[in-house]
Structure formats: C-alpha cells, structure tokens
Structure 1
C-alpha cells in the first residue's frame, strides 16, 4: 500500500491495489516484521534450514532469530483479522511469501528447495479458508480474477451466516454458485451437492463447515477456457426456445471464438447477459457466474 516498511526503508506499492481494488475493498495494512519489533530500516532476515525446521534469521547476524515472534504474531492476527475476506501477501518475503521463498543453508548458500514465509505459513494454517494470493501473482489476469471471485464468495458466505444458517439457505447458496463451481471444479460441484443431499445425517454446523471448506477449495482451482466454454454452452441451453437459428449460430460462434482464444470471456458473456435481459429466466438470473465481481473491475476483459 506504499508504506515504507521494507528492510531498507523502501516500499513495494502495488498500483493495482492502490488504484483499482481500493475502490471496492477496505484494506488493513499489516507488516509482521515491523510489528514484532525489527524496525525500519533493519537487518534483512532470510529463511534458513530444511523442510519442517525453517527459521527466519538475520542475513548478517544469524543470532537474530525472528521465527517464534513471527509465528506468534501470525496466530494473533488470525484471530484479530476475523472479519477480512481475503489476504494479499508479499511475494518472496521470508515473513509474508506464501510459497517459493528462497531457502538458505546454515553457511549462507542458497538451496534448490524453497519454503513459505513464517508469518504467512502460520496465518494460513489457522485461517485455511481465507482466500490468499501474492501481490506479484495479481499481475496474471487469470489468477487475479480467480482471487477476486474467491473473495466475493467468502463474503457471500459470511453474509449467509449473519442472516442465519439453515439447510434451505445452504441449498439456495449452492444453486446460485452452480455454474461458477462448474467452471472451477465440476467434480467438486457434484461432491458438494451430494454433501448437502445428506445434510440431515449430521449436524447443521458440521455440514456447513465441510461445505464451505470444499467450496473455497474448489474455487481455488482456476477455470480454463474449456471449462468456461462448457458452462457458457450449458447456460445457453436456457435460451434454445427463445432464439432463432441465426441467433443461436451467432452465440455459439462467439463462444467457440472464446474457446479458441480469439476473443476474451467478456465478449460471449456480454451477449448472453443481453439475451437474458430480453428473455429472462429466474434460475439464470440468480447465477453468480454471470457477475461474480463488480463489472468495472474489468476482470474478464483479459481472460
């Protein structure tokens, strides 16, 4: 967010977070290294050790060990940030990198293996369902869109819980997310449906916890052109009695152009939404897939 919290007193400001996402989200700024007292500027830390025994120690003075302090702060923030709907971590950071952070040997030479930042690893272990992504990976349009879909899904589930959990409410939620789940993970969509179908055999809270965990895991899998194409064709089936042969051919042609990488997803989606305004269908009208995030974020213009 532009705060000068790096070890050298600099920052890693993201123009995308600052200029685009901040119009739709409230940010809570967190720097665990500053929070545990390392200061700014400071001696940089790095990850040293092997799998399961990774420590965050000073790059100049290995006697500086921030591992336990960072882990404790992660546990604290996992409780403190109870109302967040997503977390953007800093890539390559020994505290905040989610994955692929450089790992060093005791003698200071880099290893082939990588690890997760100490703070990020512990935070994610305590809040496994919170959507997370690294700031650098938000430059990828597919990963960016996938992350924001998950953030809004997380928020929608929290709203459901606030309004009152019931089997009927979960069933309606699942129906709304049918095509989004089919785009991300069709097998998990069916598994979640079966889970809700047997909901009467377990406590409501247990089923809800399993469902939500499965939902977030399914949405974490990025949709592909093939899976999007399949969903678009399914949705178009609701228009088959309303469209002329020429209109059907135009719509199918646009979907196939998307499948072949000629046009972005927004092109067939725009026509589909226009046609459903002309020929409304109550089931399709409730589908999250058609608008899983604000239109002016333009997330589907580049995928």
Structure 2
C-alpha cells in the first residue's frame, strides 16, 4: 500500500481510506460480521485511514470500529471522525450543532465509544450556520492542545469558510464528495486547498453506487437507504445517469478492469493530495476498490473519460433539497 502525506502537518496515511458509513444502516441493512471482516481486510492490505461519523447509526459505527480494532495497535490506525449532525429517534435529520460546548460533548462520546484516548482527525460534519467557524475550530484546537485530538479537518465547506478556519488552526484535510459525477470542487475549492496545503479526502468516488457498473433501474432500495430519495437515483435522472455510466464500459474492457475501478482510478489520478475513501461494506467491494490503485490511466485515457462523462453531465443534485441547503460547499 502506497503512503501519502495528508496536508502539511506531517500526517501520513494510506493512498486510500475506508469509509465506514454504509456499515451502519445508511444504505440499508448491513451484516456485522461482514463489516468487521472488511475492516480487518482493509487493515491487512495496508489501509490505515478509517473514516466514521458519530451519527452513523447514532454511535453504532463507532462501536463497530471499536470492536473491530480491539486486537489492533492503536498507532497503526488513523481515525477520522465527523460530528455535529442531529437526528431524531425516527432517523430524521434535525440540523447541526457545532457550538464549542457541543464539540467537547460529542468528542467525549466518540472517545468513549471508540475506546481510545485520542482521535486523529476531528471535523464538523457540516457548517453550523448559527456558529462562526472560528468558534468551532477554536474549540477543537483546545482539544488538540489537551491531546484528545491530533489534527483538525473540515467537511463540505466552501472557500471562505476554509480560509477562516485555516486562520485559526492548521487544517489537515477537507472531506468532500468528488467523482466523475460530482466535480464541483475543481473550480475554486480544490485550488484554495492546494494553496493552503490542505489535503482532500474524497468520498462518494462511485457516486453512491451509480458508478459501480452494477446499478439498474430495477433495483429496489430499503426504506432506510437515503438514496431512495436522492435526485440522481429517481426517474429520468436515473435513466440519464445510467446511460453515462454505460459509456465507460469500453474503456473498462480495454483496461481489463471494471467500471467501478475506472471511476475510482480517475479520482486517484487527479492528484497525490487527493485520498479516496472507498465506502465498502463487503469484502468483494473492498478488494475491487483497492485494485483500482494499481490502474494507471494515461493522458489519452483520461481525455477519453473526460469526453465520455464531461463535468456537469450528471442529472440531479447530490442530495435532496433539505440536505443541499446545509452544504456550504455548494454556495
């Protein structure tokens, strides 16, 4: 497994990370034993960056990680944790809380569930519109000084917020969606991060399954799967997006790879400062994703992919209207 430096703080991580959200019901039911086996396999393959959120299953994901890491050396793992999302017992999203007192409260719960003394990267999951970003980052910086947090990250915020946060404390990375179908960061956000020495941890590299090559119009989603309400997965939008995906088949065949591997390899090819988070919850998904790290796309192939799925060609927003309004990165 190749290693890369994330940001300017000297943090070294694997060339890809494991996103653990799908292991806690966000994409429908998951299997505990399979999830733990996937985490173990990722670690055995050299993946050291594990990404979670305290609201993934409202603590379930952190407890799952704690169980999976019980026999592992803590120093071999880089734990990235998002906080701040509020949910009701029926699973509805209620907004975000990034007040300084809330930061410390969320952190205490995460440290307890993860059974660890520190978190490597701690980040607000979204910008809280009621709290200046300086106050949120300042509170995390206090936790860095006390040793509870090693590095500070951001998630789904725009350039102004990134600059204001970086003025308070060094920021190691921005976690944000980036794929062939979601390229909004390229115009302003990515250049700003590169100027400031902030890495990118890219989630949704397969556009939540659309770029997997295995999606179909007939697929029935569980009620707990938030993609069931995603604009890109419904009606004519889905028809259009699947037609885009189908055009990658020729490229994949020529490389002896899957469509998913080509889509992942494209993200990897965008720069050494971009670390893809593979959202695998099953062993075969993990192995397929890791194989993409061995695929080198040359300039001609990258040009063909660009012409096949040009920027802005996907139909539908990334999230439904309610969730989109919380994306500072889209403003």
- Relative to the length of structure 1, the TM-score reads 0.26
Larger radius of gyration: 1
Higher strand share: 2
Comparing both chains, which one has the higher relative contact order based on Cα–Cα distances under 8 Å and sequence gaps of 6 or more? 2
Higher helix share: 1
